[in-house]
Amino acid sequence: MKICRYAMLRFGKKAYVSIFALLAAAAVIFADTSSGTLAVLSAIITHEAGHLLALRLVGASVKRVLIYPFGVDISSDIERVGYAKEILVNLSGAAANLTAAAVCMLYTAVSGEPALVFFMLCNVFFFITNLIPIRSLDGGKALENLLCMRFPLDKALQTSAAVSYFSYFILGAFSLIILYVSECNISLTAYIMLSAFLAEKLI
């Protein structure tokens, strides 16, 4: 990905943030000042922190982190550590969300306080959606690496692409569920679909 292509602002040595991501975040915070926005952002941070921690654990180096409106792209030298460890890194973000959701559930059960319920649901949401085997999502990346371990590269990539396109139906069904649960929040549903599709084209 060429950084200059997306109007990125540099923060530190390795982090780049899209101007459009900053504008989108500002718009969301301005439109919704409730704790819900903080819960969503915290779940996203939890997810990406899981990836960064796993990269450190497998001995990979982070080259840069790109933040844009439809996701986060962490560039590293993960390919040198092998497919098995790369799969671990692929699934670490979802694992972090699942862990956070489990901790919230335990806290809620013990304390009786519902304050963290929405944060728990946000983590469950990111856990489920990121395991859908679309190539731009963690589940798709893990599947591609698994296929590369077992088949020639060309066949692995072709199979991964076919599964990815089919998985849009799964994402579509999940989006319809979100549409129902969110009481016809069309903007949220459209964002889910566009995030996966555009991320696959941009990354």
**Among 86, 44, 84, 36, residue whose Cα is nearest residue 65:** 44
Which is more confident, 182 or 124?
A: 124
Q: What are 137-161's pLDDT values in tens digits?
A: 899 999 999 999 999 999 999 999 9
Find the helix or strand (DSSP H, E) in which 6 lies: none
Residue-averaged pLDDT of the chain: 82
Higher pLDDT pick, 182 / 194:
182
pLDDT score for 68: 77
Q: What is the three-class DSSP state of 66?
A: strand
Q: Which DSSP state fits 70?
A: T
Neighbours of 93 (CB within 10 A): 27
Least confident span in 25-34, 76-85, 144-153, 157-166: 25-34
Measured CA to CA, the distance from residue 51 to residue 188 in angstroms comes to 25
Are 19 and 7 in contact, with CB atoms under 8 Å apart? yes
**Predicted pLDDT at 99:** 97
Interaxial angle between packed helices 35-57 and 117-130, expressed in degrees from 0 to 180 and rounded to the nearest 10? 50
The model's pTM is: 0.80
Model confidence pLDDT, tens digit, residues 81-106: 899 999 999 999 999 999 999 999 99
**Measured distance CA(145)–CA(201) in Å, rounded:** 19
| pLDDT of 164 higher than 60 | yes
pLDDT above 90 (res 115): no
End-to-end CA distance of the chain: 6
